[in-house]
């Protein structure tokens, strides 16, 4: 597995598994998404596919590569957990609280709640949790994207009848 991150801190991988060269990885994974990039703009970390960290890396919401002297260290962040207080289905105009729980020791201080292409509501994290309340005026299935910087995005689906 090869993981790459720009020296400005944006992680690009993990994208590859198996035996590949750094040149192949750069040309086929980084240049495709970042035209004009040059190899010296990136840090690379190769992890053997048999390394016990591979499973954690593939399942992380985000990965940070941290320069530690001559070494690169990894910091992995799990996905947040999101849920709704409403029964399914819920009634039209009923209050629906959507809650996010972040993993312990999260550096994130806010969570974003966004209904489809609508307004994004940014709520503070307190005691590892954040929430936002909705009321839906019409029947339907509503999908709320709940996200944080380090813990990715999940979708909470609310059915209103």
The answer to whether residues 69 and 127 belong to one domain is: no
Q: For residue 93, is it left (φ>0), alpha (ψ between -120 and 50) or beta? A: left
DSSP-assigned letter for residue 102: P
The pLDDT assigned to 148 comes to: 95
> Last residue of some domain: 24, 51, 77?
77
Residue 55 shares a structural domain with residue 7:
yes
Residue 79 CA to residue 58 CA, distance in Å, equals: 12
Q: Which of 25-39, 66-80, 125-139, 142-156 has the lowest mean pLDDT?
A: 25-39
- Alpha-carbon span 77 to 102, nearest angstrom: 10
Residue 22: its H or E element: helix 22-25
- Of 22 and 94, more confident: 94
pLDDT in tens, 53-62: 777 877 888 7
Full domain range(s) for residue 23: 2-77
Give the count of domains, the chain: 2
* Distance set, CA 157 to CA 140, 141, 153 (Å): 10, 7, 13
Q: 33 — phi, psi (to 5°)?
A: -100, -15
């Amino acid at each position: 597995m090869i993981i790459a991150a720009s020296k400005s801190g944006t992680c690009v991988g993990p994208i590859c598994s198996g035996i590949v060269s750094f040149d192949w990885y750069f040309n086929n994974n980084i240049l495709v998404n970042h035209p004009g990039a040059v190899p010296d703009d990136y840090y690379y970390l190769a992890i053997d596919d048999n390394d016990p960290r591979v499973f954690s890396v593939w399942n992380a919401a985000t990965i940070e590569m941290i320069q530690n002297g001559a070494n690169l260290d990894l910091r992995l962040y799990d996905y947040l957990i999101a849920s709704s207080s409403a029964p399914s289905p819920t009634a039209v105009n009923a209050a629906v609280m959507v809650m996010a729980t972040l993993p312990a020791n999260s550096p994130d201080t806010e969570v974003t709640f966004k209904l489809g292409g609508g307004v994004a509501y940014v709520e503070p994290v307190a005691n590892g949790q954040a929430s936002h309340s909705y009321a839906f005026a019409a029947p339907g299935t509503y999908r709320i994207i709940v996200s944080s910087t380090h813990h990715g995005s999940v979708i909470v689906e609310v059915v209103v009848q």
